[in-house]
Structure 1
């Protein structure tokens, strides 16, 4: 089927909050611009010249394309792949004149197929219609734990990462943890306030990518996106690895099962998020609140006990020094401790997931998150200092603090369980944000457009599965060792932070709204502090693994630019233009009398669709006996996704056959159907069009069932289905385009009386000019 139109990034945002962009299924088929509609009008005039007075011949169909004469659904033949579900309903009076696919997608007839469908339904839940996207939003009390789980859980390993570096200089260097922690608190507040300013200025989500791209250029925006992609993938790996480590700290016998447990946790997170935003939020909210309560109890009891001894610190255990204390060591400890801020950008990336008003609810939630982070981080740092705990290989700092604070009773187990749960489910933040980032990048043409597609539960299934697979590969490669992953983690996180804050500095310089100098100063401070962490982490941890990120970011940018280059070429090749269409010659379809004879058949006059008689579905099986040209009556059907050059060529080929032609458009929503009608009207409505609204976003199953219904209505009519298909020269380009034509051919191959023809549209290599 044809490709969607490109959208240019940049210049879309205002200084004041705008209506938030809805991440809807209709994004796969964006509206045409006025220039494109003008081209369609010119093309339509060329078609009118070519067809002249023969339009009635082409539009006189041998059957009713609206299936309006059915009182019950057609019975599939034994060749059918779909069970007899009621797939369509006819529009009621006052509704648009279109069919609506009432079944989710159709179910397989085989026993294994039905079993798989039931398992899928049990795990994921029933499918949601496209109209439900406005209800799949999170309220603040659900969004807080879902989006803050990554941020708040980082206090379980951020302070430990900082102390592990300081311990290299011996026990005496651990006293530096408090002043370094104080600087980190300042960084948290500055960056948090900066993102508070970003939310109303850019309420569309995907914050760092959009902000950097709009203000610093598309390559800088792609660098921020690359940092976010690495951030989210490593968030899953680090969080799951840390969660499993918390479990094995309490139960050392489970240490050999670290990697299998981590993979199981990723699978559970994937399944939960495939159920949709609202459902996954309700599932994964409890662990975050449990962790907040557990840390609050731990810090409160620990500080009360420290107060009972006059806040006198307990001397830490002696640690042998392997490095001298210096500026480089302090900077390294600072950058390691800064991992306590990972996830602070989550709200700005997920603003569309909030209930209206989205930007205001998002900003409020971010304020709560920053406040909780600062309180928890300060409390834990003070408790670590007063209790004199030091990093150990066999036990986490939180486990040591819990042991000392609660030597008996159930509280130690509760704290460890809460820590393990939030670390495991902290990855849920990445599962919420990365698919949305990929959605925006796909909309701009930098990643495959299949990341625009919403699954049965209105989740971005392709983005979720890509994240799960990438995180699982990294987890296995590093054998679940958190310490090996953190050096990679910090660079990607603070690259996005730095570019986002720098973009906001340019934004205020351009917009200069109320209090813009104060806002610019805050963002400049955030840029400076985040940049220090980024450079320190990249330099000091380069040999420890950060080199992977330093190399990966430019590679991701290069790949994104190559993908965009290909989509730009496809857009140019598929843009309709009269000079490219060879339709100036008049077409010569059969005469009206011949078409009427074929529409009724020599002995089937009683089945004319306009005769007013009731006609039900054809039952039973009739042998395929068409052995001569006189026994074949045609209807040419052209599925049209978008009126671009691919669709117009398929329609031109269909018209050239000289038989009645029916165009069919499958739309995921009423809004998109209305947009397509605008394109069709601009072109000129030269052939009959049937609109089918597929509220569950399926394409292949509704179209196959519709064609089967047409064949059941008139088994004596041969349906010739003409599919436009993009043909690319490079193998890797295939993943950038839809597989719908191939899947549709496979589905229709099983149906009798249906012939499938492909009209290929060849896309040349970059730099190859089209021959006009």
Structure 2
């Protein structure tokens, strides 16, 4: 099977550029694609709060309720803030565009770099958490979780390479099934609590004194709970993916996501508190709640199955937002231009593939441990949150549109809370997030170096009207030859067509072969003078390079172009290449990067 056939089977047949409009998303599909990360974080947000509180005592678990209320306040501020960003910047880009436009280049690059890394972490965390849900239901698979996670990333990468609408169609069902499953779990659990079917003594009453509790620990638990808010910004980055009116549809989708997220997070936190759930390494909190409410029956496996699906497919938020953010950065020349190219299915395939490879490397490096990835993941989100809200404050103060005081207040509250969360992260979890202080400056430095390169290239390629171009008098063609063959004959014939002077060059490893070649050449092509070079160390490159250097100097003096024409025979089958020396290819690579000459290859195709 050929590579092109395999590609068509995995990714699908190429789409025409004119079909781009058909790849836009309606609100229901966009909610599935762009909200799956935020909604899925419900499965581990509450658990992260309880893990911190468990370091004191189970008596401290009642604090999960006020902490959850604090998280909901932050969620409300972020939803209102990002709705304003969507309307103010309807072309997408989110925190990067807002920060760069209002705060300056470096704040914009910090926001953009943070989000690029965060989307890689989104994929790694989501897939690792989904794998945990699978191994909670099937403990025998626990030792294979890294392999399972990597295979799932490959699956999602292929799904996204098939196109936005196709991945949305696949994702819609698991996302809505997950929402239904958790609403069913919360509904049945609340009903059992209300009707007295669940004992009231499984939890510590709210307000119970907890020896050893501290503000430091509560802030640490709050920052862990804020992991439930990751992914909120994805919709503002991907506004161009929506059907028209794009901004209105994106804002409404963001509101729907916020309402669903608030209900699910509140319900899971309340049930975990009431049932006295204690976090376990081998079983997730959602699994324990489902087991308590339904027992290990079909409904339990339905809950676990949909949770695992949403956690794995939540990675799709990263695959939707990362390529679009990369497009904005590449348009501004901060990352390679290859991220601007659309693939066969009209998606930005280079961004998708880069994200898939990077997330697999991260999963392997951290062995799929969610609790080690989440602090980096969360702090990577809240830095752009803070910068984007601050950027909007500057925008409203500068422009003062109608109703600007309300808008300013919303963004000011969002900025202050986000900044507080960032400070809490660095204060309470410095040992886990210190690397952010290293990789963010490195990323910004790399961005600047890439832009400097593009600007330098542009300056060198730009045509200046008043600048005189160098007029050349002719073309000298050097043809390296390895013997007297049809390949060489074919190359010499072409060299005569393009060159005023043709100089065949032969490198001999001993004097006898040098003499034999000169004699044969005089009989074969007496009208073309052969230059022979002796290489006592059996190197082709060095004597050729020295000869080309001399020819280059002479050509410059006489205003001649110097061309090195490399004869190359092409084998009928690819595997035949390994049976032949690739000296022509090596010489081409050497000359392209080392010498100021034109390099041309003349192919001669073998028929058998």
Structures share a fold, TM > 0.5? yes
How many angstroms apart in 1 are the aligned matches of 2:312 and 2:305?
11
Distance 1:181 1:657, change over 3 A: same
1:551 is aligned to 438
How many angstroms apart in 1 are the aligned matches of 2:592 and 2:376?
39
1:373 is aligned to 261
Superposition deviation, residue 312 in structure 1: 6.9
Write out aligned runs for 1:722-741 (5 A).
Answer: none
2:97 is aligned to 210
**1:199 equivalent among 86, 89, 92:** 86
1:664-687: CA deviations, max 9, x gaps?
Answer: xxxxxxxxxxxxxxxxxxxxxxxx
1:9-53: CA deviations, max 9, x gaps?
Answer: xxxxxxxxxxxxxxxxxxxxxxxxxxxxxxxxxxxxxxxxxxxxx
Distance 1:579 1:406, change over 3 A: same
Write out aligned runs for 1:162-561 (5 A).
Answer: 162-309=49-196, 313-316=200-203, 324-543=212-431, 545-561=432-448
Q: Secondary structure, in 3 states, of the residue corresponding to 1:135?
A: helix
How many angstroms apart in 2 are the aligned matches of 1:155 and 1:749?
60
How many angstroms apart in 1 are the aligned matches of 2:491 and 2:355?
52
Distance 1:332 1:577, change over 3 A: same
Contact kept in structure 1, 2:60 and 2:210, CA below 8 Å = no
How many angstroms apart in 2 are the aligned matches of 1:180 and 1:131?
50
1:138-189: CA deviations, max 9, x gaps?
Answer: 1111111110100000010011001111111112211111111111111101
How many angstroms apart in 2 are the aligned matches of 1:374 and 1:275?
32
1:154 is aligned to 41
Q: Secondary structure, in 3 states, of the residue corresponding to 1:169?
A: coil
Contact kept in structure 1, 2:203 and 2:274, CA below 8 Å = no
How many angstroms apart in 2 are the aligned matches of 1:313 and 1:550?
46
Superposition deviation, residue 364 in structure 1: 1.0
Q: How many residues align?
A: 505
Distance 1:629 1:566, change over 3 A: closer
How many angstroms apart in 2 are the aligned matches of 1:244 and 1:144?
23
How many angstroms apart in 1 are the aligned matches of 2:193 and 2:468?
83
Distance 1:408 1:467, change over 3 A: closer
1:134 is aligned to 21
How many angstroms apart in 2 are the aligned matches of 1:430 and 1:556?
19
Q: Secondary structure, in 3 states, of the residue corresponding to 1:582?
A: coil
Q: Secondary structure, in 3 states, of the residue corresponding to 1:393?
A: coil
Superposition deviation, residue 727 in structure 1: 7.7
1:589-641: CA deviations, max 9, x gaps?
Answer: 9xxxxxxxxxxxxxxxxxxxxxxxxxxxxxxxxx987977998499xxxxxxx
How many angstroms apart in 1 are the aligned matches of 2:428 and 2:603?
60
Distance 1:181 1:311, change over 3 A: farther
How many angstroms apart in 1 are the aligned matches of 2:495 and 2:466?
38
Superposition deviation, residue 255 in structure 1: 0.6
1:178-226: CA deviations, max 9, x gaps?
Answer: 1111111111011011000100100111200000000000100001011
1:602 is aligned to none
Q: Secondary structure, in 3 states, of the residue corresponding to 2:74?
A: helix
Contact kept in structure 2, 1:313 and 1:388, CA below 8 Å = no
How many angstroms apart in 2 are the aligned matches of 1:458 and 1:358?
19
1:507-529: CA deviations, max 9, x gaps?
Answer: 11122111110011000000011
1:534-581: CA deviations, max 9, x gaps?
Answer: 1111221111x2112221111111111111111111122222103444
Contact kept in structure 2, 1:488 and 1:549, CA below 8 Å = yes
Distance 1:728 1:165, change over 3 A: farther
How many angstroms apart in 1 are the aligned matches of 2:238 and 2:351?
14
1:103-143: CA deviations, max 9, x gaps?
Answer: xxxxxxxxxxx622111100000001222222211111111
Contact kept in structure 2, 1:168 and 1:322, CA below 8 Å = no
1:594 is aligned to none
Contact kept in structure 2, 1:402 and 1:415, CA below 8 Å = yes
1:98 is aligned to none
How many angstroms apart in 2 are the aligned matches of 1:167 and 1:206?
39
Superposition deviation, residue 469 in structure 1: 1.2
How many angstroms apart in 2 are the aligned matches of 1:409 and 1:207?
44
Distance 1:587 1:523, change over 3 A: same
Contact kept in structure 2, 1:231 and 1:493, CA below 8 Å = yes
Distance 1:200 1:311, change over 3 A: farther
**Structure having the larger proportion of residues in helix:** 2
Instruction: Give unmatched runs, 5+ long, in structure 1.
Output: 1-113, 590-622, 635-652, 659-722, 730-740, 753-772
Distance 1:750 1:126, change over 3 A: farther
How many angstroms apart in 2 are the aligned matches of 1:377 and 1:117?
45
Aligned CA RMSD, in angstroms, stands at 3.1
Superposition deviation, residue 259 in structure 1: 0.5
* TM-score between the two structures when normalised by the length of structure 1: 0.62
Superposition deviation, residue 315 in structure 1: 2.4
Contact kept in structure 2, 1:262 and 1:480, CA below 8 Å = yes
* TM-score between the two structures when normalised by the length of structure 2: 0.78
